[in-house]
Amino acid sequence: MGNQNLIERTCKQTPFYDLCIWSLKSNPESRDASVKKLAQIMVDSLKTKATETLDLIDELLQDGLALDPEMQKALTSCAERYNVIIRGDVPEINEALKTGDYKFAAKGANDAAIEANSCEIEFSTKSPLTDMNKVVHDVSVVAASIVKIIQTKFSF
Amino acid sequence: MVDTRPFLPVSSHAGSDPTGPSENRRKPMKLQLSIFFVLLTVGFFAALLTSNNGSDNGFVKENEHGSLASPSSEKQLRPVSRGPAVGVSEKSNRLFAKDNENQLAYPWNNSMLSWQRTAFHFQPEKNWMNDPNGPLFYKGWYHFFYQYNPHAAVWGDIVWGHAVSKDLIHWLHLPLAMVADQWYDKNGVWTGSATILPDGKVVMLYTGSTTENVQVQNLAYPADHSDPLLINWVKYSGNPVLVPPPGILDKDFRDPTTAWLTSEGKWRITIGSKINKTGIALVYDTKDFINYELLDGVLHAVPGTGMWECVDFFPVSKTEENGLDTSVNGPSVKHVVKASLDDDRHDYYSIGTYHEKNGTWIPDEPKIDVGIGLRYDYGIYYAAKTFYDQNKNRRVLWGWIGESDSEAADMQKGWASVQSIPRTILFDKKTGTHLLQWPVEEIESLRLKSYEFNQVKVQAGSVVPLDVGPATQLDIIAEFEIDKEALEKTTGSNVTFSCSSSGGTIERGALGPFGLLVLADDSLSEQTPVYFYIAKGSDGKLKTFFCNDQSRSSVASDVNKRIYGNLVPVLEGEKLSLRVLVDHSIVESFAQGGRTVITSRVYPTKAIYGAAKLFLFNNATEASVSASLRIWQMNSAFIRPYPNNKESQ
């Protein structure tokens, strides 16, 4: 009961309440978690979703000859961006949350959203990644919002 | 030759309505108007929930650093679009921004990225840098240390980088000064400051993040005081010397300052922290830098400002044009408290009076107290730190300039962040409320060929190219005079202006904007205006704003497009003066001798190399301006590793 409340209060302060609730509650570690732990769970979710997206991109690229050059180029750019999310942003956020220099957690989370957005606008025709880009973007935004709560509220 | 092309044929209102009335509507006027107002209201709420600054990331709500804020903390809302001007597409509630003809999703090629590297600003050869640490002058060398990630172009694995210079401009890289090799700094060798003792020896206090992620303060000192390069450092065997005191959380205790002497002959330092949402500066006295006593009370506290990082505390002379040693006190001295606010990533300062006996400080003007008043710099500038340069009797300020592009670009180019050109700091005697910052004079040694322009007239609504050859490494000094008649004739109004919530340079006022376009290509498809905007109140009083508009600085979509700036006090009889340092992807601008300063990062895709140009512009509707300028080509500072470095371990 107690922590249900914390999850709900936290998610209310993010722009994507439903996504936030679902991501947190589907992780058993959220049960007795502090807000900082909730942020970490969100970042794990970000890493999972980003990895899934990158896997999909790799699959699509393997179609190779079936792809037109523009689509190929866009997918390659996207792969680059998702690599950055997984190998740059996520570790940065995690180290910042761990050591308490929260502005770098905010920076990493915000950047992940930018990378997902930038990938989406690569596609001049229909993007094969719209749904996944949106999820990654929104999860990043939620993570950034939770970091903001940690920064601006007291005692964590 | 004066180019009298009109600048841009745009409306003079900030935000034309998106559904403007058209003569061809068949519906009766009343119904049309009520539909319009309904749409406007819906659009207003939609805009509240989604986009805010009409930037390319339509569904990404950005605050000042291109970062995201939850709706409740959004400060600047733009309920009406800025109109279909060049480079700004109509965004309402589209989730993903697409296909604006001026957007490029991922244009970055190696040519564009390598252009971004600066020629005369301090930066390591590669990877990530942040806060300046322990700057000092010792045995003929200026030393600079900095937060550094040896492994990647993002923050993490932080250690202390090190470089030396004879003149604060030409830097030579040395080996890392300190790495994370002790339990008390295993998770980060964080920011610290140097104190020079009366016998000339140096001590360094710095924050370590321990294996348990507790923030503690540690003492270090040079292994060999006779080494002018101070290559090797020793950490005190009894570290940490300070741990978070009762009532202070493990992660709210960092960035110790340079120490100053008290009248009892003890050393005193301050360390930023917070209690709930109140930012504070704790005070400690010590005789040996090993044992400390925490003073009751704090140096100062300001509610609502959150965590105070990189606190700095130093005296300035009210009367002399030189800097003061950190221990100086007296009747002709004021003290400055500065804090970097974690919550908004800005550096704030306030001028006031230090009460030595109880270790407290009171601001002269509580309305512009620390964290709620003046900033060192209204652009990208953080974690600043001063030191007293006993070599030239001045106080010098360092500031970290981060990137405002995407980390993908940073990782591709292999580096992130630069330092500002060191600035001297002086009390502004004329206003009494501001500090003046100015690039150290040694930067003038980089000046090469100069160009002079006298009294160039720039009519309302026009752009004048300035032919100075290559325009990516420049030192510009300019003075502007605005048509006096227009100043007097213009009717004032109650409308408040602010750089960041304005429409940038496409928003035309009677008396502004006017200034320079830097890093602009011939067609002005990319341009970075640095400019003044004069607003006249309904009481006839003039207010001058100084801004830097990034909204069209690049056609790339993944860079910060904010408009930075603030009021700049302009006193009776003063001309509008401007100094701009352009150095590839960094622009540092100083108004009124450094009373208001803006640093920005700029990432053009076209206005690079030989295609980057410089223009004067005047987009005011009623006033012409005349400008006189001196512009120098700037040489590189050839920042590189220290030659024949046999000391590297």
pLDDT at res. B77: 31
Residue of B361, B238, B368 whose CA lies nearest to B295:
B361
Query: What domain range includes position A99?
Result: 34-154
Number of domains in chain A: 1
Flag if B407 and A102 touch (Cβ within 8 Å). no
pLDDT at res. A63: 79
Which residue on chain B is closest to A130 by alpha carbon? B96
Average pLDDT along chain A: 92
pLDDT tens digits for range B583-607: 999 999 999 999 999 999 999 999 9
- Percent of chain B topping pLDDT 70: 83
CA dihedral B129, B132, B133, B138 (to 10 degrees): 120
Interatomic CA distance for residues A116 and B242, integer angstroms = 43
Who contacts B6 (Cβ-Cβ below 8 Å, separation ≥6)? B461, B462
B75: contact with A, CB 8 A cutoff:
no
Contact B507, B14 (CB under 8 A): yes
Interatomic CA distance for residues A102 and A148, integer angstroms = 8
CA angle B20, B24, B27 (to 5 degrees): 85
The backbone region for A99, taken as left when phi is positive above 0, alpha when psi lies in -120 to 50, beta otherwise, is: alpha
To probe the interface with B, which of A110, A123, A155 has the most B CB atoms within 10 Å? A110
The answer, yes or no, to whether ipTM is higher than 0.95 is no
- Shortest alpha-carbon distance between residue B27 and chain A (Å): 37
Residues 11-70 of A with CB under 8 A from B: 13-15
- Percent of chain A topping pLDDT 90: 81
B151: contact with A, CB 8 A cutoff:
no
pLDDT tens digits for range A119-143: 999 898 889 999 999 999 999 999 9
Q: Would you say residue A17 lies in a domain? A: no
CA dihedral B373, B379, B385, B387 (to 10 degrees): -100
Flag if A100 and B251 touch (Cβ within 8 Å). yes
Average pLDDT along chain B: 87
Whether the per-residue pLDDT at B400 is higher than 70: the answer is: yes
| Measured CA distances, B386 to B35, B126, B147, B315, B325 (Å) | 58, 25, 16, 11, 11
Q: Would you say residue A45 lies in a domain? A: yes
Whether the per-residue pLDDT at B134 is higher than 90: the answer is: yes
Q: Indicate the burial class of B408 (C-beta count within 10 angstroms; 0-12, 13-18, 19 or more).
A: buried
Q: Range(s) for CATH 2.115.10.20 in chain B?
A: 128-439
User: How confident is residue B379, by pLDDT bands cut at 50, 70 and 90?
Assistant: very high
Interatomic CA distance for residues B613 and B470, integer angstroms = 7
Interatomic CA distance for residues B370 and B358, integer angstroms = 19
A76: contact with B, CB 8 A cutoff:
no
Buried residues in B505-518 as b, exposed as e (16+ CB within 10 A):
bbbbbbbbbbbbbb
Q: Would you say residue A29 lies in a domain? A: no
Contact B397, B423 (CB under 8 A): yes
User: How confident is residue B40, by pLDDT bands cut at 50, 70 and 90?
Assistant: low
CB atoms within 10 A of CB B26: 5
Flag if A99 and B213 touch (Cβ within 8 Å). yes
> Looking at residues B413-432, what average pLDDT do you find?
98
Q: How many beta-carbon pairs below 8 A join chains A and B?
A: 143
| Measured CA distances, B187 to B151, B214, B632 (Å) | 15, 9, 45
Interatomic CA distance for residues B204 and B184, integer angstroms = 15
Q: Would you say residue A139 lies in a domain? A: yes
Which residue on chain B is closest to A110 by alpha carbon? B67
Q: Where are the alpha helices (DSSP H) in B259-413?
A: 407-413
Q: Could you confirm whether domain B128-439 is CATH 2.60.120.10?
A: no
User: How confident is residue B38, by pLDDT bands cut at 50, 70 and 90?
Assistant: low
Residues of B in contact with A111 (CB under 8 A): 406-407
Residue B535's beta-bridge partner residues?
B543
Structure-token match 């230090």, residue found: B354
pLDDT at res. B596: 98
Flag if A113 and B60 touch (Cβ within 8 Å). yes
Predicted TM-score (pTM) of the model is 0.86
Q: Would you say residue A2 lies in a domain? A: no
Q: DSSP 3-state assignment of B55?
A: coil
User: How confident is residue B171, by pLDDT bands cut at 50, 70 and 90?
Assistant: very high
User: How confident is residue B192, by pLDDT bands cut at 50, 70 and 90?
Assistant: very high
Buried residues in B421-456 as b, exposed as e (16+ CB within 10 A):
bbbbbbbbeeeebbbbbbbbebbeebeeeebebeeb
Q: Would you say residue A24 lies in a domain? A: no
Flag if A84 and B408 touch (Cβ within 8 Å). yes
Q: Which two tokens stand for residue A121?
A: 């606008």
Give the pairing type, strands B346-355 and B360-363.
antiparallel
pLDDT at res. B15: 35
Residues of B in contact with A77 (CB under 8 A): 105-106
CB atoms within 10 A of CB B303: 14
pLDDT tens digits for range B221-247: 999 999 999 999 999 999 999 999 999
Catalytic-residue membership of B199: no
pLDDT at res. A125: 81
To probe the interface with A, which of B67, B89, B104, B130 has the most A CB atoms within 10 Å? B67
Whether the per-residue pLDDT at B19 is higher than 80: the answer is: no
The 8-class DSSP code of residue B106 comes to S
Flag if B558 and A114 touch (Cβ within 8 Å). yes
CA angle A116, B115, B443 (to 5 degrees): 125
The 8-class DSSP code of residue B366 comes to G
Whether the per-residue pLDDT at B66 is higher than 50: the answer is: no
The 8-class DSSP code of residue B254 comes to B
Closest CB to A107 among B67, B99, B105: B67
Whether the per-residue pLDDT at B420 is higher than 50: the answer is: yes
CB atoms within 10 A of CB B223: 11
Higher-confidence residue of B50 and B309: namely: B309
Q: Would you say residue A10 lies in a domain? A: no
> Looking at residues B430-440, what average pLDDT do you find?
97
Flag if B407 and A104 touch (Cβ within 8 Å). no
- Shortest alpha-carbon distance between residue B601 and chain A (Å): 16
User: How confident is residue A154, by pLDDT bands cut at 50, 70 and 90?
Assistant: low
Contact B117, B584 (CB under 8 A): yes
Residue of B604, B605, B579 whose CA lies nearest to B592:
B579
CB atoms within 10 A of CB B466: 20
Catalytic residue, chosen from B17, B99, B131, B483, is: B131
- Percent of chain B topping pLDDT 90: 81
pLDDT at res. A65: 61
Structure-token match 């009343």, residue found: B30
* Amino acid (one-letter) located at B179: V
User: How confident is residue B35, by pLDDT bands cut at 50, 70 and 90?
Assistant: low
B304: contact with A, CB 8 A cutoff:
no
The 8-class DSSP code of residue A94 comes to H
pLDDT at res. B91: 32
CATH number, position A67: 1.20.140.40
User: How confident is residue A37, by pLDDT bands cut at 50, 70 and 90?
Assistant: very high
Whether the per-residue pLDDT at B16 is higher than 50: the answer is: no
Whether the per-residue pLDDT at B359 is higher than 90: the answer is: yes
A109: contact with B, CB 8 A cutoff:
yes
Q: Would you say residue A109 lies in a domain? A: yes
CATH class label, B447-634? mainly beta
Interatomic CA distance for residues B134 and B203, integer angstroms = 10
pLDDT tens digits for range B77-123: 333 333 333 322 333 222 333 334 445 556 799 999 999 999 999 99
> Looking at residues B242-268, what average pLDDT do you find?
97
To probe the interface with B, which of A75, A82, A111, A146 has the most B CB atoms within 10 Å? A111
CA angle A45, A47, A48 (to 5 degrees): 65
Residues 426-465 of B with CB under 8 A from A: none
B278: contact with A, CB 8 A cutoff:
no
Whether the per-residue pLDDT at B422 is higher than 50: the answer is: yes
